């Protein structure tokens, strides 16, 4: 084949290759000229009615066991309140000590948001005698710290409430008119509230309540906390 014919044939093959490349699909790394938009997902269909705020979902309707029935039906817990009433009336430190939890001691709150003073079984024996000045927190009346011994600050309020005529309620705070929301500060701990309804002389504004928290050890209930509630301005 002559040289001129060979060159002509090579040129024809090159032009054919270029034409084929124009119609070929873009390589995998090339960006498409128009990105197809993904189809929108269909919205879920709710066949069941949406429950109202007062409706309990079926999954939550299983009854949850509470500590109230066995605790409130236990005669030993009511006897503990009776023994505490006797210890207060007679200022019997040894009796009080026998009622205090040996594992936690007894928390005492004079103000619902005040300081907590804990008495173990040994110190509980002497609460009616000691003159130790504890800090019970700020008075809601004066705003000043309330300093004083158990027998000066706590005992008079206990003596007013713990009487044979007291209203005793299990696992519920029994209070009079209040300017705040009374709350038991130990969630999960069963308790009794012991309530003095106040006097007509003061329009029952002098009501007082002591809540008594308890725990049971080897079948015997013990006091873990005393929390005080009164009318506050």
What CATH number is attached to the domain comprising 197?
3.10.450
Task: Answer whether 100's CB lies under 8 Å from 121's CB.
Answer: yes
- The pLDDT of 111-124, averaged and rounded, is 96
Q: What is the pLDDT of residues 142-190, one digit of tens each?
A: 899 999 999 999 999 999 999 999 999 999 999 999 999 999 999 999 9
3-state class (DSSP) for residue 212: strand
Whether residue 37 is contained in a domain is answered as no
Q: What is the pLDDT of residues 192-225, one digit of tens each?
A: 999 999 999 999 999 999 999 999 999 999 999 9
Whether residue 142 is contained in a domain is answered as yes
Whether residue 167 is contained in a domain is answered as yes
Q: What is the pLDDT of residues 26-39, one digit of tens each?
A: 333 333 344 444 44
Domain around 78 = 68-230
Supply angle C-alpha 58, 62, 64, rounded to 5. 140
Whether residue 91 is contained in a domain is answered as yes
Q: Which of 120, 119, 128, 106 is nearest to 210 (CA)?
A: 106
pLDDT at 44: 33
pLDDT at 82: 97
Whether residue 19 is contained in a domain is answered as no
CA distance readout (Å), 209 to 95, 177, 212, 214: 22, 11, 10, 16
d(C-alpha 80, C-alpha 20), whole Å:
101
Whether residue 130 is contained in a domain is answered as yes
Q: How many domains does the chain have?
A: 1
Task: Answer whether 124's CB lies under 8 Å from 142's CB.
Answer: no
Beta strands 167-170; 116-119: pairing state: unpaired
């Amino acid at each position: 084949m002559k040289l001129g014919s060979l060159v002509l044939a090579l040129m024809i093959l090159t032009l054919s290759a270029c034409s084929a490349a124009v119609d070929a699909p873009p390589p995998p790394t090339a960006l498409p000229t128009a990105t197809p938009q993904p189809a929108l997902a269909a919205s879920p269909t709710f066949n069941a009615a949406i429950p109202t705020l007062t409706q309990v979902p079926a999954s939550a309707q299983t009854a949850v066991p509470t500590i109230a029935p066995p605790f409130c039906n236990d005669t030993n817990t009511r006897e503990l309140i009776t023994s505490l009433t006797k210890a207060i009336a007679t200022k019997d430190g040894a009796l009080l000590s026998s009622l205090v939890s040996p594992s936690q001691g007894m928390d005492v709150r004079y103000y619902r948001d005040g300081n907590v003073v804990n008495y173990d079984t040994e110190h509980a024996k002497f609460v009616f005698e000691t003159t130790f000045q504890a800090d019970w927190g700020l008075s809601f009346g004066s705003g000043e710290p309330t300093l004083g011994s158990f027998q000066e600050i706590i005992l008079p309020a206990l003596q007013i409430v713990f009487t044979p005529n007291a209203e005793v309620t299990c696992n519920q705070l029994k209070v009079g008119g209040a300017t705040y929301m009374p709350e038991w500060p130990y969630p999960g701990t069963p308790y009794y509230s012991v309530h003095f309804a106040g006097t007509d002389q003061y329009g029952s504004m002098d009501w007082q309540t002591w809540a008594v928290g308890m725990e049971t050890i080897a079948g015997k209930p013990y006091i873990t906390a005393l929390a005080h509630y009164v009318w506050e301005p």
